[in-house]
Structure 1
Amino acid sequence: MSNFLYLFRGGDDAFDKLSQEEKQAHMEVWGEWMGGLQEQGKLIDGLPLDKDGKVVHDRGEVVTNGPYAEGAEMVGGYLIVKAKNMEEAVEISKGCPIFDYEGSFVEVREILTMEP
């Protein structure tokens, strides 16, 4: 088994247009999806990310407001899941609720270990 990182991109504009009740209902869908992954022993961690941040350049010589991604490219959150291989990790990601509200894509990346 390996750990995989899901980076969720896009969907914020469509989500922001929802009523408070619709937002709550959508968050419940996320909770159900993540709860199912947790019950299967596949969910390790995951949280939404704030829209604001900083970008550090040149070892801190330059710090700018950021991130500078287009709305559809903005990373809005992440999950870390456990899967047998990349194929299983991709299959799991297909059920992600981000696709319900115009989310651009889920980037799936294997987390590698660093040997000393």
Structure 2
Amino acid sequence: MKEFLMLIREDANYGDLSMEEMQECVEKHIQWVNGLIEKDQFREANPLDAGGAYIRGKEKIVTDGPYIESKECISGYYILKASSLEDALNIAKTCPDLEYDRRTVEIREITQLEE
């Protein structure tokens, strides 16, 4: 079984959801993850804090971020287990975040390094 990183991208202000809508979104994610666990398709997931910083180049210049130049942010990640990219994409298509217009998910295979 391979592992795939799924990044959730959305508006940097995390959209215009009310507290009730945010709670509903969280509950949908919990149900979704429980289904993935039952199918052995889930390893881990976490939301990402809105704060952060960039370090750039040889000068090691630190700037606030990660959204200083963008209206989009990565709000969370999942590590999915699947046999292929196609299977990982099919899993990702069921992500509750895709029910919202300005959200996307990115899927990348995690390369396993030889020990």
The answer, yes or no, to whether TM exceeds 0.5 is yes
Per-residue deviation at 1:39? 1.3
Moved more, 84-93 or 52-61: 52-61
Q: Which runs of 5+ in 2 are unaligned?
A: none
Contact 1:83/1:89, CA 8 A, preserved across alignment: yes
Structure with the bigger percentage of helix: 1
Q: Which runs of 5+ in 1 are unaligned?
A: none
Give CA deviations for 1:23-54 in whole Å, capped at 9, x if unaligned.
21121001100111011111101011011111
What percentage of residue pairs aligned between the two structures are identical? 38
Q: Write out aligned runs for 1:61-76 (5 A).
A: 61-68=60-67, 70-71=70-71, 73-76=72-75
RMSD over aligned Cα atoms: 1.9
Contact 2:53/2:62, CA 8 A, preserved across alignment: yes
Contact 1:12/1:103, CA 8 A, preserved across alignment: no
Q: Write out aligned runs for 1:87-102 (5 A).
A: 87-102=86-101
Q: Does 1:83 align with 2:82?
A: yes
Contact 2:12/2:70, CA 8 A, preserved across alignment: no
**Aligned letter for 2:28?**
V
Q: Does 1:26 align with 2:22?
A: no
Which residue in 1 is equivalent to 2:56?
57
Inter-CA distance 106–16: structure 2 relative to 1 (3 Å threshold): closer
Per-residue deviation at 1:60? 6.7
Tell me how far apart the structure 1 counterparts of residues 36 and 11 of structure 2 sit (CA, whole Å).
22
| Structure 1 segments of 4+ aligned residues over 4 angstroms from their partners | none
Per-residue deviation at 1:61? 2.4
Q: Give the length in aligned residue pairs.
A: 114
Contact 1:30/1:97, CA 8 A, preserved across alignment: yes
